[in-house]
Amino acid sequence: MRCLLFACLLFNTLHAAALDRYQVEGYQLPNGLQLLLKPGSERGHVAIRLVVGVGFDDFPCADKELPHLLEHLLFSGVDASGEGGLEERMQALGGEWNAYTSNADTTFVIEAPAANQRKILDLLLEILTRTELSESAIDAAKQVVEREEGGHYSHLQRWLDRQDLGHNASNQLAVELGLKCAERADVQHLTREQLEAVRKNWYAPNNMTLIMVGELDRLLPAYLERAFGALQPIEPNDHLPLPEIHDQAAAAQRDLPRGWVGNSAKIHWLFPEPALEGLPDETFDLLKDYLDWALYRHLRLDHGLSYGPWSEREVLGGVGFFSVNADVERDNLDDARQVLEQLKARLLKDGLDPDTFARLQQAAIARQAWAVQGNSALADYYWGALGDYEGGHFTDPAQALRAVTLADANQALRQLFKQPGYLRIEKPLLSDEQLIGLGAALAGLLLIGLLGWRAYRRR
Ligand SMILES: [Zn+2]
């Protein structure tokens, strides 16, 4: 009996800890730095994420790479020992760091041994405040950024991009709709003054969130107040408005050449997500789960037309898109399209199958119990969900998923699929057979030419 009581208590505390995941202590320093501190389950380790509210979206097309270039420069060294010396100091502390620039933010991602967390935060503070942006470091960083973005921007690639043929299907559609820049942004023309301005105007405590998850130092709050509290706030900047679809029209259907020869192809069918008054965003998440399964059932299991069909949600500029996609053999393109069209028509007519919807909703809720494991994943989760944080907690996705009704999902489905959507088909210029045919035709022409030449000579 006592054992049972103990087990019950244990289960209860475990349960409380699991619920607790969305409960996070957060407060602001007087200089505006937002702190989120969460004791984690794994000991000996701290996951640190410093999120700076500046990303690609904050700059016009030509200067888009500015925040990315600055992010790289901040690792170029704080003294004469340069980049190497900086890395050696991090190695000596047993931590690892990296940074990422996205559309909305620039984030420094650090894994640290708990014992050295304050020293590692010191190092982070040093690179933010003491990095000298020298011309030689800028040149070196430009080369790295250029390589990351796919190497030197050739004339051919630039020309293809201008015809919006060089992008992947969704980006290409985004360019057509005026949601994305047509050309890749260059780095060579960016100046030191511009970089200094980005640092001055955006790298300020009232534009940053520091997330820490793990075995947190007892002295951490006092340390943060002293060290990070010394950063000077700025007048906050306005973010550029995100591009919306205005009156640009995009073709209903287009073929996008991918490489020269081959038999593989991809179908992408993209739909702008309608704004649904009163329905949570999770409605489209559940719709995505449903479509993933429907595509797999029909295209792969029933018809064997596609190995890994999938649906996807992504944001392009300021617009959310929902897509259904399939990898297919070139010869099967028409059949696969037909199956997709039938699926769409049937869903519009009959709505979602209630049993399947209930099963997938249950699975999505159950997934929340194990989807985020460990300090680092939790820190990443908070980073991704920052917009949701309010009054000491994040919203529990399981609750939001549970609240979606079949009627909600059907409403979202109908609004989404009553649009014709945009069809994009990626395939190589020639199929294998076409290449062989072309080769044979050329050989034939050559032979005829030779015979003609011989006949002419003989005469
Ligand atoms: Zn980079």
**CA of residue 97 to ligand 1 center, whole Å:** 13
Residue 102 maps to a domain: yes
Same domain, yes or no: 128 and 225: yes
What span, in angstroms and rounded, lies between the C-alpha atoms of 217 and 227?
15
Alpha carbons 101 and 71: distance in angstroms, whole number: 7
* Ligand 1 centroid to residue 99 C-alpha, Å: 8
pLDDT band for position 352 (50/70/90)?
very high
Long-range pairs of 144-147 with CB within 8 A, sequence gap ≥ 24: 144/72, 145/65, 145/68, 145/69, 145/72, 145/187, 146/187, 146/188
363 and 284 within one domain:
yes
155 within some domain: no
Q: Is the pLDDT of residue 102 over 80?
A: yes
| pLDDT mean over 341-364 | 97
Separation of 145 CA from ligand 1 center, angstroms? Answer: 6
SS3 129: helix
The answer on pLDDT for 211 being more than 60 is: yes
Q: Are residues 28 and 138 in the same domain?
A: yes
Distance of CA 216 from the midpoint of ligand 1 (Å): 29
Task: Verify that 196 and 284 share a domain, yes or no.
Answer: no
Query: Does residue 124 sit in the same domain as residue 199?
Result: yes
**What separation in angstroms does the CA of 291 have from each of 284, 405, 420?**
10, 16, 17
pLDDT digits (tens, 9 = 90+) for 230-248: 999 998 888 999 998 877 7
pLDDT digits (tens, 9 = 90+) for 32-44: 999 999 999 889 9
Q: Say if residue 258's pLDDT is above 90.
A: no
Does the pLDDT of residue 10 top 50, yes or no?
Answer: no
Q: CA separation (Å) from 348 to 197, 201, 341, 426? A: 52, 49, 11, 26
Instruction: State both tokens at 143.
Output: 């080369």
Pair 211, 381: CB distance under 8 Å: no
C-alpha of residue 100 to centroid of ligand 1, in Å: 6
Give the Å distance between the CA of 123 and the centre of ligand 1: 20
Give yes or no for residue 304 having a pLDDT over 90.
Answer: yes
Query: Could you tell me the distance, in angstroms and rounded to a whole number, from the CA of residue 185 to the centre of ligand 1?
Result: 14
Q: Tell how far the Cα of 271 is from the centroid of ligand 1, in angstroms.
A: 30
Asked, for residue 299, whether it belongs to a domain, the answer is yes
**109 alpha carbon – ligand 1 mean position (Å):** 13
Same domain, 47 and 108: yes
User: What was the pLDDT predicted at 133?
Assistant: 94
Q: How far is the CA of 120 from the centre of ligand 1 (A)?
A: 21
User: Which amino acid, 73?
Assistant: L
Q: What is the count of structural domains for the chain? A: 2
The average pLDDT across 95-110 equals: 96
At 164 the pLDDT is: 64
Bridging pattern class, strands 422-427 and 96-101: unpaired
Residues 274 and 216 in one domain: no
For residue 291, tell me if it sits in a domain. yes
Q: How far is the CA of 323 from the centre of ligand 1 (A)?
A: 28
Distance 400 CA to ligand 1 centre (A): 35
**Residue 347 and residue 223 in one domain:** no
d(CA 335, CA 329): 10
Considering the domain architecture, whether residues 328 and 419 belong to the same structural domain is answered as: yes
Closest CA to 19 of 399, 361, 284: 399
Expressed in angstroms and rounded, the spacing between residue 101 Cα and the centre of ligand 1 is 7
The Å distance, Cα 71 to ligand 1 centre, comes to: 7
Distance 376 CA to ligand 1 centre (A): 21
Distance (angstroms) between ligand 1 centre and the Cα of 102 equals 10
Mean pLDDT of the chain: 91
For the entire predicted model, the pTM comes to 0.86
Total residues belonging to the chain = 459
Residue 72 pLDDT more than 80? yes
Collect contacts of 355-363 with beta carbons under 8 A, ≥24 apart. 356/290, 356/293, 357/286, 357/290, 357/406, 357/409, 358/406, 360/286, 360/289, 360/290, 360/293, 361/286, 361/289, 361/401, 361/402, 361/404, 363/289
DSSP for 140-166 reads HHHHHHHHHTTSS--HHHHHHHHTT-S
pLDDT for 9 equals 44
Domain end call among 230, 264, 288: 230
In a domain? residue 439: no
Tell me how far the alpha carbon of residue 249 lies from the centroid of ligand 1, in angstroms. Answer: 33
Whether 103 contacts 174, CB under 8 Å: no
CB 67 within 8 A of CB 101: yes
Residue with tokens 């937002």: 34
Could you tell me if residue 286 is inside a domain?
yes
* Average pLDDT of span 197-215: 96
Facing residues of 320 across strands?
315
Residue-level pLDDT at 19: 47
Q: Report the alpha-carbon angle 50-229-131, nearest 5.
A: 60
Structure tokens at 228: 């990070």
How far is 438 from 110, CA to CA, in rounded Å? 55
| C-alpha to C-alpha distance for 293 and 310, rounded to whole angstroms | 8
Residue-level pLDDT at 1: 45
Distance 146 CA to ligand 1 centre (A): 9
- Structural domain includes residue 49: yes
Assign residue 300 the CATH number of its domain. Answer: 3.30.830.10
pLDDT interval class at 150 (50, 70, 90): confident
Tokens of 349: 């007519």
Among 230, 263, 298, give the residue marking a domain's end.
Answer: 230
Contact 210, 34 (CB under 8 A): yes
Which has the higher per-residue pLDDT, 209 or 167?
209
Residue 118 belongs to domain spanning: 15-149+184-230
Q: Domain check: are 273 and 401 in the same one? A: yes
Residue showing tokens 């999120």: 51
Which residue, of 230, 265, 284, is where some domain finishes? Answer: 230
Interval between CA 278 and ligand 1 midpoint (Å):
38
Report CA(190)–ligand 1 centroid distance (Å): 16
User: What share of the chain in percent tops pLDDT 90?
Assistant: 71
Indicate the pLDDT class of residue 374, thresholds 50, 70 and 90: very high
Same-domain status, 320 and 370: yes
Shared-domain flag, residues 132 and 39: yes
- Residue 78's pLDDT is 93
For tokens 């982070």, the residue is: 124
Alpha-carbon distance of 426 to 412, in angstroms, equals 28
Question: Tokens 């942006």 appear where?
Answer: 133
Average pLDDT over residues 403-416: 96
Nearest of 397, 380, 399 to residue 36 by alpha carbon? 380
Does a structural domain hold residue 433?
no
How close is the Cα of 152 to the center of ligand 1, in Å?
15
